[in-house]
Structure 1
Amino acid sequence: MGHYRSNSTNSHNFTLTFDNEKIGELIYQKWYSFAAKILMTNGKEYQLEPRGFWESTIELKEGEAILLEFKMGWKGIVIKTYFDNEEKHFLLKLKGLLSNKFVLLDDNNEELMVAETDFKWSKLNFDYTIETTQNFDNFTNEKLLLLSVLHCINYYMTVIVAAA
């Protein structure tokens, strides 16, 4: 099991760490934007770009190649990954109605990851504590998927706040 932490230095930047070692960053161009980029510590850069009339689908791209896409569904956020030319499906949803925990499920409804949000009122931003299962840790590109899931959670909270 992996124990990760994501801290927001401001409303635009999130740093993901494992055992106090930086893995990568999720960087938003502006507050409440669905467009962002992911910078990994190995120097690789990825773009998160909204698509469609209502910007309802978000794609993770490396250059022109689409590696992942997600959109809001009735049960939560539906995520499709295309790593290594293999399509996988996931569902990200709140663990309970009034919960501050998000859970990532696979096609078999198996829990792969739990992210707990911690809102910092003094800074008006979120920090996250993330626990992954062994099955999640065995995925190809699991760290890139984690940063993408952080974007999904931020997207979810933005859409919910805008709808309220």
Structure 2
Amino acid sequence: MQTLQKPTFKIESTSMRGCFKLSVNGRKIVDLKYKNWYSGVAETYLDREKIQLKPKNWWSGKIEILKNHRKVGEISHNSKLHLKISRENEDGIEETYILKNSGKWKLKFDLALEAGESVMTLSPTNSFNKLNFDVFVHDENIPMEELAIYSAYACKLYYAYISAV
């Protein structure tokens, strides 16, 4: 009898610019590429939809999430460096997730619904300067690939924020 295996998500850095790929069970799903070194604009394709992440402006600290050139959400942060990912689902209802560092001595990120229910954990696998994560999914009723893309981008922002301090 064959048992069903839980999918294994992995986020791996592919360039010094911050580009990364998302793979499931060793099979590449998407490549997120940054337009250039300093812009913060990144894009990829998921299920034939163009996903673009781009800073709203230099001072606001908000990142717009665009799908096929239509704004569907944003990433922002608070004073505790908890990153808030708001996105519109297929029914037009806004869903809000909070990504925060839950590690004491080593960075580890938990993505939870605003109500507090954990949906995903991102654990760094290598060093501070490379964006490599093992992703553990706690709730399979979520758009895992899409949230993993937004979460990895937000983790890169977190690294940038703490590096600047």
TM-score clears 0.5: yes
Structure 1 letter corresponding to 2:106: S
- What is aligned with 1:82? 88
Structure 1 letter corresponding to 2:150: S
- 1:1-164 alignment to 2 at 5 Å? 1-12=6-17, 13-31=19-37, 33-40=39-46, 42-75=47-80, 76-84=82-90, 85-120=92-127, 124-133=129-138, 135=139, 137-139=140-142, 141-162=143-164, 164=165
Moved over 6 A (4+): none
TM-score (norm 2): 0.85
Q: Deviations over 1:72-108 (max 9, x none)?
A: 1134001111122011111100013433210001122
Structure 1 stretches lacking a partner, 5+ long: none
TM-score (norm 1): 0.85
Q: Count residues with an aligned counterpart.
A: 157
SS in structure 2 at match of 1:149: helix
Q: Distance in 1 between matches of 2:126 and 2:60?
A: 26
Deviation at 1:32, TM superposition (A): 5.0
SS in structure 2 at match of 1:7: strand
Structure 2 stretches lacking a partner, 5+ long: 1-5
Q: RCO higher in 1 or 2 (8 Å CA, sep ≥ 6)?
A: 1
- Structure with the largest fraction of strand: 1
Q: Distance in 2 between matches of 1:33 and 1:20?
A: 30
- Structure with the largest fraction of helix: 1
> Alignment RMSD, CA only?
1.9
Q: Distance in 2 between matches of 1:74 and 1:98?
A: 20
Percent identity over the alignment? 22
